[in-house]
C-alpha cells in the first residue's frame, strides 16, 4: 500500500510544484511488468491529487535463452512481486526488455 503511494508521489513530483495546482489531467504509461498495476497507480494518484488520470498499459517484451522474444507469460502477481516466464519453453531465466517502467507521458492544465 505505502509503496504505491511512493510511486505515485514520484510521478506527481515530476511536475514542478508551482504548476500542480493547474493540472486537470495526466496520462501515464505503465508497463505490464512494473511493480504496480495501472489500476493501483491511477487510484493512488487520483486520491493524492484529485487529477484525472489516464493510463496506457504497455505490453511487455522479454528475451529468453531459447530464442523467444515477445510478451511475457505472467503467472502470478502478489503485491508487487510479479512472477512471469517464457511462454515458449517455460523458463524463468528471461530478461525483460520492455514493460518495467512507469512514465509520465502528458500533462493537461487548465
Ligand atoms: Zn524460452
Measure 110 CA to ligand 1 centroid, in angstroms. Answer: 48
pLDDT of 79 > 80? The answer is no
- Can you give the pLDDT at residue 78? 83
pLDDT of 107 > 60? The answer is yes
Long-range contacts of 2-6 (CB under 8 A, 24+ apart): 3/35, 3/36, 3/80, 4/36, 4/40, 4/41, 4/44, 4/80, 5/44, 5/48
Q: Calculate the average pLDDT of the chain.
A: 94
Q: Is 39 helix (H, G, I), strand (E, B) or coil?
A: helix
Measure 63 CA to ligand 1 centroid, in angstroms. Answer: 8
- Can you give the pLDDT at residue 21? 95
List, in order of start, the domains of the chain with CATH numbers: 2-109 (3.30.2320)
pLDDT in tens, 10-42: 999 999 999 999 999 999 999 999 988 899 999
pTM above 0.85, yes or no: yes
Measure 67 CA to ligand 1 centroid, in angstroms. Answer: 6
pLDDT of 1 > 80? The answer is no
Measure 95 CA to ligand 1 centroid, in angstroms. Answer: 10
Amino acid at each position: 500500500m505505502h509503496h504505491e503511494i511512493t510511486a505515485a508521489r514520484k510521478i506527481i513530483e515530476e511536475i514542478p510544484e508551482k504548476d500542480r495546482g493547474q493540472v486537470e489531467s495526466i496520462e501515464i504509461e505503465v508497463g505490464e511488468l512494473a511493480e504496480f498495476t495501472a489500476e493501483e497507480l491511477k487510484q493512488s494518484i487520483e486520491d493524492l491529487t484529485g487529477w484525472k488520470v489516464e493510463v496506457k498499459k504497455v505490453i511487455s517484451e522479454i528475451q529468453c535463452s531459447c530464442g523467444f522474444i515477445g510478451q511475457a507469460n505472467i503467472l502470478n502477481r502478489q503485491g508487487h512481486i510479479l512472477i512471469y516466464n517464457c511462454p515458449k519453453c517455460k523458463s524463468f531465466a528471461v530478461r525483460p526488455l520492455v514493460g518495467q517502467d512507469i512514465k509520465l507521458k502528458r500533462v493537461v492544465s487548465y
